[in-house]
Amino acid sequence: MLGKSAMAHKMPTKSISDCATAMSLATSTDTLPHSLIPPGIEIGRGGNGKSGSEFDPPAENLKLYKPTRLSRPVSVTRQIHWPYLSGFIALHLLALLAFVPWLFSWTGVVSVFVGNYIFGSLGINLCYHRLLTHRGLTVPKWLEHSLALLGVCCLQDAPARWIAIHRMHHQHSDEQPDPHTPWVDFFWGHMGWLIYQNKYFGTADFYDRYARDILKDPFYFGLERNLMYLWVYLAHAVPFYFAGLGIGWWLTGELSGGVQFGASLLVWGVIVRTVYVWHITWAVNSVTHLWGYRNYEVSDSSRNNWVIGLTNNGEGWHNNHHASPRCAAHGHKWWELDLTYAFIVLLEKIGIAKNVVHPSRETMRIELTSIADN
């Protein structure tokens, strides 16, 4: 999502206490040098009285969340966030170019789904979400930063702001302070929350409370300043066009063929893919808190949704995630395909990923007990 620089000032130096409960599930906090995360955020139920119960209770015994119509968070104003809204309008209008026959190519169509996995699943799902937000694994810094840049290429803001909002969501899931609960209304949970200004986002307290550990790294701090993440997004579009230009020119023997193929890859591989990843990411906030089935008794409205689970390469198994936020796997049943987790397992097998929090009955018992204790 488009937005102005979120951090133009130095972070306060006051400390943030570690999460003493869920952070000890599969690895000690001593192995996580950047785990300065507020109490309750990793387990997603900080101080709000929500509870869980035993591991994997039978579906007929689930105490389903009772929907309650909520008001918008009190920090939300009536002011339109024009940088975001103008970006949404521009990209959606440009995506309509996909219907121009001259710009169609099957390679372009394939690039949407390949790009979704590379930029969306590895950048947003794996890096922004499972690695940086919840510390479900660790990888070398060179790889962590590389994956983060893939996430930046989805135009969903710089890492620190994205992570802070998501941690806040887990702390207040489906309560009024939740930034994007669909119990305000579906459009609000999907993208309306991005269109109206939230005066708390971007404040020193917001970053200090929810993303202090992220901004200790100068790499992430730099992405928050001077719209650097937006420049990264624009820069990543350039190779798509010129790669298509060169390949098309070579295949057809004509410059016009190169221009056509380059434009096709730019429209499909960048613009359409960006809009597609936007909506399947936003659908985790909206759809999977309204429709689907539940494996675990948690007292927010999170659901596992087949459509979002498959299109988003594992993120749609959202009830599983809310039951065990630190778990690197979101698919907990054999049929819940999680291609993001599959890549994490591959990284672990070749010795790159460490401290991976795998799903296990013991892990789930510990984490659900931690939720209940809070």
What's the gap between Cα 125 and its chain centre? 5
Residue closest to 344 by CA, chosen among 134, 33, 36, 55 = 134
Q: What is the DSSP letter of 26?
A: S
Answer whether 308's CB lies under 8 Å from 317's CB: no
362 has a pLDDT exceeding 90: no
What average pLDDT does the segment 210-216 reach?
97
Using CB atoms within 10 Å of the CB of residue 147, give its burial: 0 to 12 exposed, 13 to 18 middle, 19+ buried.
Answer: buried
- Considering the entire predicted model, what is its pTM? 0.82
What's the gap between Cα 112 and its chain centre? 18
275 has a pLDDT exceeding 60: yes
Using CB atoms within 10 Å of the CB of residue 359, give its burial: 0 to 12 exposed, 13 to 18 middle, 19+ buried.
Answer: middle
Mean pLDDT check: name the lowest of 11-20, 143-152, 275-284, 290-299.
11-20
Q: What is the pLDDT of residue 360?
A: 78
315 has a pLDDT exceeding 90: yes
Q: What is the pLDDT of residue 64?
A: 53
Query: Among all chains, which residue has been given the structure tokens 């659908």?
Result: 283
pLDDT band at residue 67 using 50, 70 and 90 as cut-offs: low
Quote the mean pLDDT of the chain: 84
What's the longest Cα–Cα distance across the chain? 68
- Structural domain spans, the chain: 70-373
Q: What is the pLDDT of residue 52?
A: 27
Return the exposure string of 164-189: e unless at least 16 CB atoms fall within 10 Å of the residue's CB, then b. Answer: bbbbbbbbbbbbebbbbbbbbeeebb
pLDDT band at residue 361 using 50, 70 and 90 as cut-offs: low
Q: What is the pLDDT of residue 32?
A: 32
What average pLDDT does the segment 198-212 reach?
96
Torsions phi, psi for 175 (to 5 deg): -120, 170
46 has a pLDDT exceeding 50: no
59 has a pLDDT exceeding 60: no
Percent of the chain clearing pLDDT 70 (strictly above) = 78
What average pLDDT does the segment 204-228 reach?
96
What average pLDDT does the segment 243-259 reach?
96
**HSE value, Cβ hemisphere, 13 Å, CA-based, for 132:** 35
pLDDT band at residue 363 using 50, 70 and 90 as cut-offs: low
Q: Which two tokens stand for residue 120?
A: 């969306």
Q: What is the pLDDT of residue 65?
A: 57
What average pLDDT does the segment 252-278 reach?
97
321 has a pLDDT exceeding 70: yes
Using CB atoms within 10 Å of the CB of residue 146, give its burial: 0 to 12 exposed, 13 to 18 middle, 19+ buried.
Answer: middle
Return the exposure string of 195-223: e unless at least 16 CB atoms fall within 10 Å of the residue's CB, then b. Answer: bbbbebbbeeebbbbbbbbbbebeebbeb
Using CB atoms within 10 Å of the CB of residue 305, give its burial: 0 to 12 exposed, 13 to 18 middle, 19+ buried.
Answer: buried
Query: Strand pairing partners for 138?
Result: 354
Q: Say whether 248 sits in a helix, a strand or coil.
A: helix
